[in-house]
Amino acid sequence: MFLQHWAQEFNASRGAVSLARRINSAVLPIGLPFAGRILDGYGARRVILPSTILAGLILLTADFSIRGLPQLYFFYLVVGLAT
C-alpha cells in the first residue's frame, strides 16, 4: 500500500523498498521460538502487555529514526526480531 510512496520518499526503486519487507519476513521465524518459550514460561497475560508496549515504542521511534534505506532495513529487522 505504501510501496510507491516510500519509493518516492527514499528516492529508490520499488524493489529496494520491498526488500525491507523481505528482511522482516526472513527474520521473523528466528524470533518465534524464543517468543514461544517466553509464552510457555510466563503465560500469555504476562507477555502481552510488555510486548505491546515494546511494539508501540518501536513504532514511535520509526518516525524519528528512518531517514534512508539502511535505516528502513534496520527498522524492519528489529521489528521482525521483536515480534
Closest CA to 76 of 17, 36, 34: 17
Chain-centre distance for alpha carbon 74:
8
CA–CA dist 33, 39 (Å, integer): 10
Residue spans of the domains in the chain: they are 26-82
What is the rounded radius of gyration, in angstroms, for the C-alpha atoms of the chain?
15
CA–CA dist 15, 28 (Å, integer): 20
CA–CA dist 83, 79 (Å, integer): 6
Entry pTM: 0.76
For the segment 36-63, what is each residue's pLDDT rounded down to a tens digit?
A: 899 999 999 898 888 888 888 888 888 7
For the segment 2-32, what is each residue's pLDDT rounded down to a tens digit?
A: 788 888 888 888 898 899 889 999 998 988 8
pLDDT at position 43: 92
